[in-house]
Structure 1
């Protein structure tokens, strides 16, 4: 109590965090915040359940409603299983990116309730609040992917190029999802309410996911949209996963990301992570200063 009082006095009556303790302190603080958010998720299981329902619905609807009507380059006959193998990489990628809206809403909710102000009074590094939140969302996304993979296997999706490459594909998906969660974090810090964060987090995701190769080959798109789709970071990850899973790729483009999708996916994800983590942490510091 004496130490807390002394800290309060030096901060002019308000508690202030200690100076940063370096990378080790930052990692420790981030893990503590991540644990707090995971416990919170366990206490509200409906959030996890509803997060599972949407991607499962997409799998069922696209597999059985559109599967027999959308041809895939190289497909012989009208076998819907071919399209399901083509589809699943897109559904996986859509699932990890749509988690962005939840990340933004969670941070906006914490800001709205004043929880961030409480974190400011603790001796912790500033960036740990955002890092811990995004790490907790990454764990939830990984669990969602696990359940979704089981559903995909049930409807006929298969891995044809070995388990190690499949793990690499899921690694790229989680990296993309983690990078995009920082976009959600920035949106959550920029808006005033969780509702606005949810809406703002979804508006840009729909064109990103649908102007891509996730659900249909880009060869049928107008030239301009096809160029956008081929250079879309979402498309690069989808194509990389199809390549690593050994699923139908439907490639008729000579754009660099489509010819080198694994490298393109990795570079895009790291670039997005670097840029938006920097912007989100800077915004967080100015919002809580």
Structure 2
């Protein structure tokens, strides 16, 4: 197959390969899909009343599940990057990439297949989060346009973080190392943001970090789109800028590392 004439067909082949791997080895994929739901149930159902009371919910009408859900959606995206990072690292370390090099295959198709496959699984996870959140009382008042904008932002961020996660995975010497190297994105950044409590309730040092890391403006933009909450000026454009920056860095970094690793 020509590397110039059939890039879409090659990418589709790699996508089918990755989806079959996800079905054949479901543990990692199910973990990525299910973890955000577990976090939603844990913080929304088990600890929700405690958090709500601590934030003045009883006196102000503050609904914690509404506040929590946009942040959990971001956690779903963050946890979803572990699977493609490990898969990309596995391809590099087990020799399959060397076999691909002997074939007339569109070279970027290998990584693009990982990205599209991971995006499909992450979108499924986000749908499950919204469904479970509604069962717990999540009641967005977004218009159709707001839902479109929120969906576009979530999908764009998924693609961006997946490319970045694959880039990290390709730099790891082992799949086990790849699973560890993405942990700061999967868990540290979501917890040190406004996922669980408002920015003004965070300690001063953590508040500064949370304010200037990518998750916080994106979470606040989602809350504005889905719930109509006040949104700081520029958060929407800042969210888009973060998505573009992460995507560009992740794409070119992953392609450079992949091409270097497959060079003769």
Q: Same fold (TM over 0.5)?
A: yes
Which of residues 146, 159, 181 is equivalent to 2:140?
Answer: 159
- Worse overlay, 154-163 or 216-225: 216-225
- Root-mean-square deviation (CA, aligned residues, Å) is 2.3
Counterpart in the other structure of 1:97: 78
Counterpart in the other structure of 1:168: 149
Q: 1:1-289 to 2 correspondence within 5 Å?
A: 20-21=3-4, 25-71=6-52, 75=57, 77=59, 82-246=63-227, 248=229, 258-289=232-263
- Offset of residue 213 of structure 1: 0.9
Distance 1:74 1:99 in 2: 33
Distance 1:204 1:97 in 2: 6
> Residues 233-257 of structure 1: CA distance to partner in whole angstroms, max 9, x if unpaired?
11121111111101656x6xxxxxx
- Worse overlay, 53-62 or 165-174: 165-174
Distance 1:56 1:67 in 2: 14
SS at match of 1:86: helix
Distance 2:241 2:9 in 1: 28
Q: Is there any run of 5+ residues in structure 2 with no aligned partner, and where?
A: none
- Offset of residue 75 of structure 1: 4.5
Q: Is there any run of 5+ residues in structure 1 with no aligned partner, and where?
A: 1-16, 252-257
- Offset of residue 51 of structure 1: 2.7
Describe the shift of the 1:131–1:154 C-alpha distance in structure 2 as closer, same or farther (beyond 3 A): same
> Residues 120-169 of structure 1: CA distance to partner in whole angstroms, max 9, x if unpaired?
11212222211111111001111111122111110111121223312321
Give yes or no for contact 1:97–1:176 (8 Å, CA) kept in 2: no
Give yes or no for contact 1:86–1:247 (8 Å, CA) kept in 2: no
- Offset of residue 31 of structure 1: 2.5
TM-score, normalised on structure 1? Answer: 0.83
Give yes or no for contact 1:96–1:176 (8 Å, CA) kept in 2: yes
Distance 2:185 2:244 in 1: 20
**Bigger CA radius of gyration:** 1
Distance 2:8 2:190 in 1: 32
TM-score, normalised on structure 2? Answer: 0.90
Distance 2:133 2:228 in 1: 13
